[in-house]
Structure 1
Amino acid sequence: MEMIVSDLACARGGVPVLEGVGFRLGAGQAVILRGPNGIGKTTLLRTLAGLQPALRGDISVPAETIAYASHADGLKATLSARENLAFWAAVYGGADVDAALGAMNLSALADRQAQNLSAGQKRRLGLARLLVTGRAIWMLDEPTVSLDAASVALFAGVVRGHLARGGAALIATHIDLGLPEAEVLELSPFRARPRAEGGIGGAFDEAFV
């Protein structure tokens, strides 16, 4: 299992934001995406996950190996924590729901409706979905939003366990997850350049046609 990205360009709302992005992500590896707000971290993740087309470049990775987690927790409010995970486990082919609950310290809340969980508990339940997908590559967009320090450490341990089992992770985050083995990919050097004097031109104009 390996993701190979070469000369990738991607856009937000028709406007190019990143170009020339290239890296490799293999089994047991984690890459942290860094850069200022608005640089295009979310856009890059969505492009790599196949949720939007690339402007150009190559992404070599089997689609069925990717699990993408965005800012949204993706929970059904009236279902219990266990029922929410059972739904996603069925979608992805079935996995150990109780193990996923335990890994994110949610076992005691297994029968509580998602709407009655705190913001941090909902976030942990949303992240527990990753464990029932069986997917090798986790793509995570600011996964620690709403998590306290203890929960961040818990999640970092889950990621380390995933890497130890031969998985991989690509994570956009502003905080230190305590993953010293992770490589950092700074996106500032890949910021898209203006296409014409006095403006972006080209694809920028196309966004307003």
Structure 2
Amino acid sequence: MTPVERPALPLIAARGLRFARNDEPVFGPLDFAVDAGEALLVQGDNGAGKTTLLRVLAGLLRADDGEIDIDGHPAGPARRARAIAYLGHLPGLKADLSALENLNFLCGLHGRRRAQLPENALAIVGLAGYEDALARQLSAGQKKRLSLARLWMSPAPLWLLDEPYANLDLEGIELVNRMVQAHLREGGATLVTTHGAYAAPPVRTRMLVMEKRGLELREQIA
């Protein structure tokens, strides 16, 4: 008898997820799942709850209700730490360490992808030659690129990217798209928030539109 193949579990799934601030609803209840090889583009105006949603998924805020699973298991702190790489509005860098020292420090905390070296990651994001530059000496765009290098080094399969196109020129925007494409080809998944005009990279994509009055989940396969 041929064994029945079980469908692959989503990398992350939310059920009945809800968050309120000062008793005022921010979003939810919300149900969604993101599979390996898929991007979920979260769009909405400022104040619609996009950043809050990603911070809840990352475990930086506690949801008022609902469940989050990663690979079919409850998303506790240890599982989140292994599975999630979060890129927020702040670069998360140590100002008095160099670009290379920052990457080595963060790799020591979170691990790194096999066969990937910090020097190579800096070159990929366009920071070759800036290895010894202090983080505080970098421009806003260069700091974003350094944060992207940290993301590229991460072994986590799930990327949560909050406004990753901010402070980047057109070349930097294309860099983010190439990184997301490569990550999804390797079996990863990503959630990307944006309120700008930039569309998702040309990958398998669904769209979650967040408005201050509610949420709308749209299917958009590109």
TM bin (shorter chain): 0.7 to 0.9
| 1:36–1:173 CA distance, 2 compared to 1 (3 A) | same
- Among candidates 180, 201, 206, match of residue 202 of structure 2: 180
For residue 58 of structure 1, give the secondary structure of its aligned residue in structure 2: strand
Asked whether the 8 Å contact 2:48–2:212 carries over to 1, the reply is: no
Asked whether the 8 Å contact 2:49–2:212 carries over to 1, the reply is: no
Which shifted more, 43-52 or 102-111? 102-111
| 1:29–1:114 CA distance, 2 compared to 1 (3 A) | same
- Alignment correspondent of 2:83: 65
In structure 2, what is the Cα distance between the partners aligned to 1:135 and 1:17?
A: 28
More helix by share: 1
Which shifted more, 84-93 or 168-177? 168-177
| 1:13–1:157 CA distance, 2 compared to 1 (3 A) | farther
Shift of 1:12: 3.2
The letter for the 2-side match of 1:46 is: R
The two structures have a TM-score, normalised by structure 1, of 0.85
Show structure 1 runs of 4+ deviating over 4 A: none
Quick check: 1:98 aligned with 2:119?
yes
The letter for the 2-side match of 1:23 is: F
Quick check: 1:89 aligned with 2:107?
yes
In structure 2, what is the Cα distance between the partners aligned to 1:13 and 1:140?
A: 26
Asked whether the 8 Å contact 2:47–2:212 carries over to 1, the reply is: no
Unpaired runs of 5+ residues, structure 1, are 193-209
Shift of 1:127: 1.8
In structure 2, what is the Cα distance between the partners aligned to 1:160 and 1:120?
A: 21
Shift of 1:22: 1.2
| 1:37–1:71 CA distance, 2 compared to 1 (3 A) | same
For residue 170 of structure 1, give the secondary structure of its aligned residue in structure 2: strand
Sequence identity (%): 41
Q: Deviations over 1:137-181 (max 9, x none)?
A: 010111121111111111211111111111111011123155133
Shift of 1:67: 1.0
Alignment of 1:79-158 (within 5 A): 79-95=97-113, 96-158=117-179
The letter for the 1-side match of 2:160 is: M
The two structures have a TM-score, normalised by structure 2, of 0.80
| 1:24–1:116 CA distance, 2 compared to 1 (3 A) | same
Quick check: 1:11 aligned with 2:20?
yes
In structure 2, what is the Cα distance between the partners aligned to 1:117 and 1:177?
A: 27
Shift of 1:117: 1.3
| 1:32–1:69 CA distance, 2 compared to 1 (3 A) | same
| 1:12–1:131 CA distance, 2 compared to 1 (3 A) | farther
Aligned residues: 192
For residue 109 of structure 1, give the secondary structure of its aligned residue in structure 2: coil
Shift of 1:13: 4.7
